Amino acid sequence: MEITRFKSSDIQEMVTLFYETVHSINAQDYLQTQLDVWAPKDDQAHKEQSWLESFLNNITFVARLNGLLVGFIDMTQHGYLDRIYVHKDFQRQGIASLLVHVIETEAKKLALTELTVDASITAMSFFMNRGYQFVRKQNIERKGVTLVNFKMIKLFR
């Protein structure tokens, strides 16, 4: 597996991976109506543009296996882990763990003392197993539909 810095040419694959992963993997914890507002199928072009700007401003890495994009992660300069997604067909293979390790290393290089994340129900145990602490449950409303996630934090010494 190869972990590299984000390039603008990665954006379409990343958005496709996001939609496919949310609608398959997160379906175990969220209703279809929730998935549809989290990752609306008709929003892909807009998402590519808005995420491109965000990924360029953030610290962003992609994971590729034999040339195929299998995951990505990004963090703001202030230590907010914004997005982490792993390809629906490559779950539980250590990709997310590797991406989190890379981003935590970057956070330490920036002398950050903590990382925060808004973890989905699906991802909460993943983060807990990596030393992130539960802060609070959050109800996020999108287009009249409520999504639950969890504010979590990891402190560095």
User: Is 139 among the domain residues?
Assistant: no
User: Is 16 among the domain residues?
Assistant: yes
User: Is 73 among the domain residues?
Assistant: yes
Look up the CATH number of the domain holding residue 39: 3.40.630.30
Number of domains in the chain: 1
Alpha-carbon distance of 139 to 130, in angstroms, equals 23
Instruction: Encode pLDDT of 63-121 as tens digits.
Output: 999 999 999 999 999 999 999 999 999 999 999 999 999 999 999 999 999 999 999 99
User: Is 118 among the domain residues?
Assistant: no
Residue with tokens 């990382």: 115
Alpha-carbon distance of 67 to 79, in angstroms, equals 29
Task: State which residues form the domain around 53.
Answer: 2-112
Residue 132, classified by CB atoms within 10 Å of its CB into exposed (0-12), middle (13-18) or buried (19+), is: buried
Alpha-carbon distance of 131 to 154, in angstroms, equals 6
User: Is 47 among the domain residues?
Assistant: yes
Q: What is the pTM of this model?
A: 0.94
Q: Tell me how far the alpha carbon of residue 133 is from its chain's centroid.
A: 17
